[in-house]
Amino acid sequence: RGKRAFIAGIADDNGYGWAIAKSLAAAGAEILVGTWVPALNIFETSLRRGKFDESRVLPDGSLMNITKVYPLDAVYDSLAEVPEDVKANKRYAGASNWTVQEVAESVKHDFGSIDILVHSLANGPEASFCFDYSFLSCFYLHRQVVVMPKRTITCNIAGGASVSLSYIASERIIPGYGGGMSSAKAALESDTKVLAFEAGRRHKIRVNTISAGPLRSRAAKAIGFIDMMIDYSLANAPLQKELLADEVGNAAAFLVSPLASAITGTIIYVDNGLHAMGVGV
Ligand code: NAD
């Protein structure tokens, strides 16, 4: 069978998650999606009504197929952690099994296993918190048997692979990218290395992150200065062109493919080279 990918963090067709899903679908992967619970209805309705059809078109002319959309709130690892007021909230009450653990179990129940895990979660405008990145470790380490059973490993020599999205604010000062977001990205990059070791040794799973340049996604618009960051990049990066979400999608597809079979624990910049500049000119 083709590879099966679970992409956490798609609620429209503007973000990096969507672009990664498309690149993976174009390469023949089966696509499963995790969508933030309050955004689930509108995403599924839009999908069903064909609102995304134009951006579902793959290079061969076919439309990307999403096999299943799971409600997900990655803030909570398990049901025991969910406060009563959230359970009772009407934006959550209509959905079930949306904690990380429950989603992993549902995926296991529905499909047995996945080969590729993509973490493309951000704090949306509705959520001013900044959740930690226990998500990957929860999927990989606690739920390892669920996601990457030995069966997958033995029939697929390259093992599984995961990729997440980071931002240069983890290591350089980006004024305004505050509120714990920069430290969350620093933690994500550090976790990428530790998880590369843990998951690599245990299951031959590769773990990498992409440090992406600015994109006008829903999450980025909520932060408030995305246009300025895009203009700054256009003016100062070695490659003075717009950064397309597809370019990040393609890099992600490479990283989780056998072409990257010796790459793990890395942070790859997909930013038109902006990270390499010392001063803007
Ligand atoms: P996006 O809004 O398309 O994606 C973020 C997704 O996370 C949304 O679908 C949102 O609903 C979901 N989400 C938020 N809270 C959640 C929760 N608790 N549980 C489950 N899902 C939740 O925005 P994006 O910019 O494509 O973000 C994807 C990743 O790329 C993020 O990690 C972001 O930090 C990173 N990134 C973005 C940029 C940029 O300029 N857009 C640059 C570098 C890195």
Closest residue CA from atom 16 of ligand 1: 36
Q: How many CB atoms are closer than 10 A to CB 273?
A: 15
249 C-beta closer than 6 A to ligand 1: no
Question: In this prediction, does ipTM exceed 0.85?
Answer: yes
Percent of the chain with pLDDT over 90: 60
Closest residue CA from atom 26 of ligand 1: 15
Query: What dihedral angle (degrees, nearest 10) is formed by the CA atoms of 113, 114, 115, 117?
Result: -140
Question: Over the stretch 226-235, which tens digit does the pLDDT of each residue have?
Answer: 999 999 999 9
Nearest alpha-carbon partner for 20 in 113, 103, 118, 159: 118
Instruction: Give the tokens for residue 147.
Output: 């996601």
Please list, residue by residue across 124-161, b when 16 or more beta carbons sit within 10 angstroms of its beta carbon and e when fewer do: beeeeebbebbbbbbbbebbbebbbeeebbeeeebbbb
Number of the ligand 1 atom closest to the C-alpha atom of 127: 15
Query: What dihedral angle (degrees, nearest 10) is formed by the CA atoms of 61, 24, 100, 67?
Result: 40
Question: Over the stretch 3-44, which tens digit does the pLDDT of each residue have?
Answer: 999 999 999 999 999 999 999 999 999 999 999 999 999 999
212 C-beta closer than 6 A to ligand 1: yes
Distance separating alpha carbons of residues 134 and 54, to the nearest angstrom: 34
Range with the poorest average pLDDT among 145-149, 183-187, 275-279: 145-149
Rg (CA), the chain: 18
**What 3-state DSSP class applies to 256?**
coil
Which helix (H) or strand (E) is 183 found in, with range? helix 181-203
Which of 12, 66, 165, 229, when mutated, tests ligand 1's pocket best, judged by the most ligand atoms within 8 Å of its CB? 165
Residue labelled with tokens 């672009």: 19
Domain boundaries, the chain: 4-275
Distance separating alpha carbons of residues 90 and 110, to the nearest angstrom: 26
Residue 144 CA to ligand 1 centre (angstroms): 24
Question: Over the stretch 122-171, which tens digit does the pLDDT of each residue have?
Answer: 864 333 333 344 444 445 444 433 333 333 332 233 468 989 999 999 99
Distance separating alpha carbons of residues 247 and 228, to the nearest angstrom: 20
pLDDT of residue 154: 29
17 C-beta closer than 6 A to ligand 1: yes
120 C-beta closer than 6 A to ligand 1: yes
149 C-beta closer than 6 A to ligand 1: no
pLDDT of residue 123: 63
Q: Is residue 134 within 8 Å of 164, Cβ to Cβ?
A: no
**What 3-state DSSP class applies to 148?**
coil
Residue 218 CA to ligand 1 centre (angstroms): 8
- The residues carrying an active-site annotation are 167, 177
Query: What dihedral angle (degrees, nearest 10) is formed by the CA atoms of 53, 55, 60, 65?
Result: -60
Distance separating alpha carbons of residues 176 and 172, to the nearest angstrom: 12
Nearest alpha-carbon partner for 185 in 168, 207, 163, 170: 170
Tally the C-alpha atoms within 13 A of residue 264's C-alpha that lie toward its C-beta: 21
Q: Which CATH superfamily is domain 4-275 in?
A: NAD(P)-binding Rossmann-like Domain (3.40.50.720)
